[in-house]
Amino acid sequence: MSYGSVFVKGMFAGKVMLVTGGGSGIGRCVAHELAALGAHTVLVGRKPDKLQAVMDEIVQDGGAASFFVCDIRQEEVVKQTVAAVVAAHGRIDGLVNNAGGQYMTPLEAISAKGWEAVINTNLTGGFLMARECFLQSMNKYGGSIVNIVADMWGSMPGMGHSGAARAGMVSFTETAAIEWAGRGVRVNAVAPGYIASSGMDKYPEEMGPMLREMSKTIPLGRFGTEAETSAGIVFLLSPAASFISGSTLRIDGARPQVRMGWPMRVADAKAQERDAIKPFNGFHRALTPKVFSS
């Protein structure tokens, strides 16, 4: 089997696409789709075993990939990693700033250390990767950057540190789109809502019942798929988005539009089979999160 992308085969032939957090979840899916469309996909992350596994999958599927171990929170390491990618491949045509992470806790319980860890992972690290890709390649050749944020519209109770970081990344996206446009660089963001990916398995086991009930808060009545998220990312990287920059694409089933006083009319199973909202599962190697398979 191969990736069932909705985009034309060979669309990224000859392109070098860097995906941070490419060892699992949405990053893994995006890496597969980009490779299936002809790109050489560069996987970046902290855990070599995961990166190796995804690279092997891509190669087995007939794609091209390589990986570099990097902690995006460390400035010198980021500089060295981007330099190594450019040395190996000549340039970087696209960056997917996907690496991130957070944990559940109320604001009053977040320590300065915990706050800084989440900000550094979800905001500072993404800035460093984007800056170095610009300075070391895109400043000369142009390119496209997609920053992955989150459904933080209206707040993120229980994850205030992540909400602050993600909102900051949206602002960074808009600023970079202005400052770097003159060098032929587009910068956009994608904000996934509740997506059924392996990231959900990182939360404590006691959160399982809540996670399984969250689809009832989504007007479309279900979780999104990794492939649906990847499709939005790939579109923004593609030539079809050549006049789109500084924008944030929400992929969330209209969840932020839910309002008190307006009755929830969640799409039932029959409605979810209609073409307009039917789940798209183009990723042939997608894994069901354990929290949903138990």
pTM of the model: 0.93
- How high is the pLDDT of residue 63? 97
Count of residues in the chain: 294
Residue 5 within any structural domain of the chain? no
Question: How many structural domains does the chain have?
Answer: 1
Angle at 36 between CA 33 and CA 39, to 5 degrees: 90
Can you read off the two tokens belonging to residue 27? 């990053």
* Strand, coil or helix: 234: helix
Residue 224 within any structural domain of the chain? yes
CB atoms within 10 A of CB 123: 23
- Amino acid at site 234: V
Q: What is the CATH number of the domain that holds 272?
A: 3.40.50.720
Residue 4 within any structural domain of the chain? no
Residue 11 within any structural domain of the chain? no
Q: What is the spatial distance between Cα 151 and Cα 148, in angstroms, rounded to a whole number?
A: 10
- How high is the pLDDT of residue 293? 74
Residue 8 within any structural domain of the chain? no
- How high is the pLDDT of residue 106? 86
- How high is the pLDDT of residue 294? 59
- How high is the pLDDT of residue 225? 95
118 close to 161: Cβ distance less than 8 angstroms: yes
Profile the chain (294 residues) by mean pLDDT over runs of 10 residues. 94 98 96 98 97 98 98 97 98 96 84 92 96 98 97 81 92 98 98 86 73 86 95 98 98 89 87 90 89 73
What is the extent of the structural domain holding 198? 16-293
Main-chain phi, psi angles of 250, to 5 degrees? -85, 135
Residue 264 within any structural domain of the chain? yes
Residue 129 within any structural domain of the chain? yes
47 close to 18: Cβ distance less than 8 angstroms: no
Residue 152 within any structural domain of the chain? yes
- Amino acid at site 254: A
